[in-house]
């Protein structure tokens, strides 16, 4: 089995999600919130950061935290074994440690086998808990220390989990909290109140059972039970056991403080408290920060935020008010001290600086501005860096049918006469263009234009009346264009007609040189990779010559499309070192590429909507599905992106036709909230 690499990123994310769900003392270093880095899973850490910011406001919480941390550090192994873990977990973990061999360890750790086999369950659980309650060092430092310790090496080796299973643990914890917030307001308040005095395992049972019923979490539950003697339910029981052994007054203070802080941090689903599920799109201005007087001034053609107002603005940011509005009245760019970005992300990892004009707006996530890196590139101190954000209507001649003005979005780090462009991001950065009339979601889309008005690519776009919300990983010149595309061989009899014409109008699928689409023709591996890159608006990348049968100059990599698919993990080659670009893509291979796309962090795919009742076993040819494709094929089935044939077969090894591909790609965009659903309505 492939061993889990035990990276700082994954463990930090796991711990963060666990902390966010556990009303116990494991709430990190109170007063020293975890710094959220862009590379770390944002949802979990952002949630923890918000809760921390509320927790430290509660009287007595910090003192109770420090006392409890000291208590835990003094517990003898017998307490961890008998009163926290229990016989089943202790015996299972200790037996598995005794049975470890050098092959279970990473090569660099094999010399430590003898010492690792002297580790026990009590030592592991103690060190795991102390990771998040010790003061004096950062969480990152403690993680580095733990993962190289004998306890850390044993922890990894005993579980032997693959990365996907570790991700599922994180996903399970996050989904449990989100599910809780989907209850009615009265149910949420009742549950939180019960948690202040009752068992987290008992109080949250209904919510957990609903999430655990999903097939992927049921399988995870079984795996954990076998390898550690602890099921997902037992993990919550461990937290109860820890709290039960703490001084009663400290436990009460921390339970109450943590629950109140979690409530104050607000709904992690993005909607209002309770109400039966689903996220709610905030009305304009609903989540905007009320800026202190004098926070925005105009100097010539520039709207500025004075450096002496940065801290006042940061102080005004809250859990649910995290959009800092900068309106350009008669100016074309905003100038913001870089320190605003570095400081506000400590208060709220999801903070956004929104620069607005009457024609367009730009929501720049604070976490996307790496101030230290930009200062290094400019050769100046971080305090001297300013971020210039330009949102400007420009005159570009184009043969395309424009449905909006052309708007250039540009960001530069500036220090004196030195400038450094910020043109690419790790997440979709939203910008909006306002039209003079309602947009047509079916045959219009946002495109990137060059200086000569040529369409370079389209990008994911959502339409709502006169507003077009663009999701892109790059800066450039954007416009909404209308593009009505039909094909002579895609008639009313073609079942995928709407899928094909919608994607063609959005510059994603194209016809052959003959002008025909050939809906029943097959699709190659290279063609499907390019389609996904176009659909997601991924920027091109430089090819690294990794495949022996791909030169990099072929049509499918002329603009770095294949290399982009490789970079983002959408495609993989064979063990032979080849990619086989002209091979027909099977339905299993297509499912694998889609499943990998779903896992992209910036897609933020809502897996809570997976339909767990859809299982491969229901198809009469399920036994023909390759073992390597079962997990991916199940995921895209449950996501509603792929389906079986009318004869109740999944045909995993069959070729994927061009009309099938059009539907698959369209459903990926719709389910990812990257395209309006004008097809199924």
Q: What is the CA radius of gyration of the chain?
A: 27
What would the mean pLDDT of 231-255 be, rounded to a whole number? Answer: 76
- Does residue 237 carry a pLDDT above 80? no
pLDDT at 211: 82
CA torsion angle 141 142 145 148 (round to 10): -110
- Does residue 470 carry a pLDDT above 80? yes
| pLDDT mean across residues, the chain | 83
**Greater pLDDT, 616 or 124:** 616
Q: CA nearest 638: which of 609, 602, 658, 603?
A: 609
Per residue in 407-430, pLDDT (tens digit) is 999 999 999 999 999 999 999 999
> CA 662 to CA 509: how far, in whole Å?
7
Start-end of CATH 2.60.220 domains in the chain: 297-482
- Does residue 580 carry a pLDDT above 50? yes
pLDDT at 86: 87
What would the mean pLDDT of 638-662 be, rounded to a whole number? Answer: 94
> CA 310 to CA 346: how far, in whole Å?
13
pLDDT at 50: 58
Most confident by average pLDDT, 52-66, 259-273, 343-357: 343-357
- Does residue 503 carry a pLDDT above 70? yes
pLDDT at 84: 85
**Greater pLDDT, 491 or 204:** 491
CB 23 within 8 A of CB 202: no
Most confident by average pLDDT, 13-22, 54-63, 79-88, 527-536: 527-536
- Does residue 627 carry a pLDDT above 70? yes
What would the mean pLDDT of 281-305 be, rounded to a whole number? Answer: 80
Q: Report the range of poorest mean pLDDT among 29-38, 57-66, 241-250.
A: 29-38
For residue 140, what pLDDT band results from cuts at 50, 70 and 90?
very low
CB 304 within 8 A of CB 310: no
pLDDT at 34: 35
Q: Given the DSSP bridges, would you call strands 323-327 and 333-337 parallel, antiparallel or unpaired?
A: unpaired
**Greater pLDDT, 4 or 307:** 307
Q: Concatenated DSSP letters for 100-146? A: --GGGS-GGGGGGHHHHTT--HHHHHHHHHHHTT--SS-HHHHHHHH
DSSP 8-state class, residue 406: -
**Greater pLDDT, 281 or 267:** 267
CATH 2.60.220 is right for the domain spanning 297-482: yes
Share of the chain above pLDDT 70, in %: 79
Residue 646, Cβ neighbours under 10 Å: how many?
6
For residue 55, what pLDDT band results from cuts at 50, 70 and 90?
low
> CA 598 to CA 595: how far, in whole Å?
5
Share of the chain above pLDDT 90, in %: 54
What would the mean pLDDT of 207-227 be, rounded to a whole number? Answer: 79
Residue 673, Cβ neighbours under 10 Å: how many?
17
H/E stretch holding 330: none
pLDDT at 186: 59
> CA 600 to CA 242: how far, in whole Å?
36
pLDDT at 424: 94
pLDDT at 137: 43
For residue 168, what pLDDT band results from cuts at 50, 70 and 90?
low
pLDDT at 23: 38
What would the mean pLDDT of 592-604 be, rounded to a whole number? Answer: 93
**Greater pLDDT, 173 or 179:** 179
- Does residue 37 carry a pLDDT above 60? no
Give this prediction's pTM.
Answer: 0.61
> CA 378 to CA 419: how far, in whole Å?
7
For residue 195, what pLDDT band results from cuts at 50, 70 and 90?
low
Q: Which two tokens stand for residue 673?
A: 């909230």
CA atoms within a 13 Å half-sphere pointing along the CA-CB vector of 586:
14
Tokens 């693959």 appear where?
162
CA 289-292-297 angle, 5° bins: 105
Per residue in 441-466, pLDDT (tens digit) is 999 999 999 999 999 999 999 999 99
CB 468 within 8 A of CB 513: no
What would the mean pLDDT of 400-408 be, rounded to a whole number? Answer: 97
Beta bridge partners, 407, equal 393, 478
Per residue in 311-345, pLDDT (tens digit) is 999 999 998 889 999 999 888 899 999 999 999 99
For residue 266, what pLDDT band results from cuts at 50, 70 and 90?
low
pLDDT at 51: 63
């Amino acid at each position: 089995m492939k061993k889990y690499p035990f990276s700082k990123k994954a463990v930090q994310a796991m711990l963060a999600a666990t902390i966010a769900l556990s009303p116990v003392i494991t709430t990190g270093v109170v007063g020293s919130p975890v710094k959220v880095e862009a590379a770390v899973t944002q949802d979990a850490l952002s949630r923890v950061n918000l809760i921390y910011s509320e927790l430290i406001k509660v009287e007595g919480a910090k003192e109770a935290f420090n006392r409890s941390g000291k208590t835990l550090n003094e517990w003898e192994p017998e307490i961890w074994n008998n009163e926290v873990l229990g016989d089943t977990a202790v015996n299972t973990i200790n037996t598995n440690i005794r049975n470890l061999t050098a092959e279970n360890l990473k090569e660099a750790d094999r010399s430590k086998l003898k010492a690792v086999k002297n580790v026990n369950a009590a030592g592991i659980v103690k060190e795991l808990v102390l990771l998040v309650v010790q003061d004096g060092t950062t969480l990152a430092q403690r993680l580095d220390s733990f993962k190289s310790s004998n306890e850390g090496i044993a922890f990894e080796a005993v579980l032997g989990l693959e990365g996907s299973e570790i991700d599922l643990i994180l996903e399970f914890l996050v989904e449990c909290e989100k599910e809780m917030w989907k209850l009615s307001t009265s149910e949420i308040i009742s549950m939180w109140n019960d948690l202040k005095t009752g068992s987290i395992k008992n109080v949250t049972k209904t919510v957990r059972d609903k999430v655990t019923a999903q097939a992927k979490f049921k399988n995870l539950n079984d795996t954990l039970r076998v390898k550690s003697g602890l099921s997902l339910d037992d993990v919550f029981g461990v937290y109860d056991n820890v709290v039960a052994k703490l001084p009663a007054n400290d436990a009460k203070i921390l339970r109450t403080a943590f629950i109140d802080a979690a409530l104050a941090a607000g709904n992690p689903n993005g909607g209002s408290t309770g109400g039966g599920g689903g996220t709610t799109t905030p009305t304009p201005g609903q989540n905007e920060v009320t800026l202190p007087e004098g926070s925005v001034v105009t100097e010539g053609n520039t709207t500025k935020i004075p450096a002496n107002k940065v801290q006042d603005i940061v102080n005004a940011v809250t859990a649910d008010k995290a959009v800092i509005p900068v309106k350009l009245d008669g100016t074309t760019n905003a100038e913001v001290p870089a320190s605003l970005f570095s400081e506000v992300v400590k208060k709220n990892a999801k903070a956004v600086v929104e620069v607005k004009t009457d024609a367009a707006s730009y929501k720049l996530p604070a976490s996307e501005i790496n101030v230290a890196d930009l200062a290094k590139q400019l050769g100046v101190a971080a305090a001297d860096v300013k971020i210039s954000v330009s949102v400007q209507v420009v005159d570009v001649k184009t043969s395309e049918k424009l449905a909006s003005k052309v708007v250039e979005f540009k960001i530069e780090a500036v220090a004196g006469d030195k400038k450094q462009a910020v043109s690419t991001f790790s997440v979709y950065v939203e910008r909006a263009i306002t039209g003079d009339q309602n947009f047509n979601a079916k045959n219009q889309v946002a495109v990137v234009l060059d200086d000569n008005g040529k369409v370079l690519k389209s990008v994911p776009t959502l339409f709502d009346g006169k507003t077009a919300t663009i999701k892109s990983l790059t800066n450039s010149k954007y416009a909404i264009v209308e593009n009505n595309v039909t094909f002579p061989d895609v008639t009313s009899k073609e079942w995928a007609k709407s899928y094909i014409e919608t994607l063609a109008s959005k510059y994603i699928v194209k016809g052959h040189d003959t002008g025909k689409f050939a809906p029943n023709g097959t699709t190659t591996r290279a063609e499907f990779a390019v389609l996904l890159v176009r659909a997601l608006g991924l920027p091109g990348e430089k090819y690294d010559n990794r495949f022996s049968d791909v030169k990099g100059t072929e049509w499918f990599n002329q603009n770095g499309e294949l290399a982009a698919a490789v970079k983002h993990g959408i495609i993989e080659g064979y063990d032979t070192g080849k990619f086989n670009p002209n091979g027909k893509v099977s339905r299993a291979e297509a499912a694998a590429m889609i499943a990998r796309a779903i896992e992209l962090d910036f897609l933020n795919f809502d897996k809570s909507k997976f339909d767990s009742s859809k299982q491969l076993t229901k198809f009469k040819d399920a036994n023909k599905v390759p073992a390597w494709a079962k997990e991916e094929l199940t995921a895209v089935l449950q996501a509603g992106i792929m389906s079986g044939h009318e004869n109740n077969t999944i045909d995993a090894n069959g070729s994927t036709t061009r009309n099938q591909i059009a539907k698959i790609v369209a459903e990926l965009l719709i389910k990812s909230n990257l395209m309006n659903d004008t097809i199924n309505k």
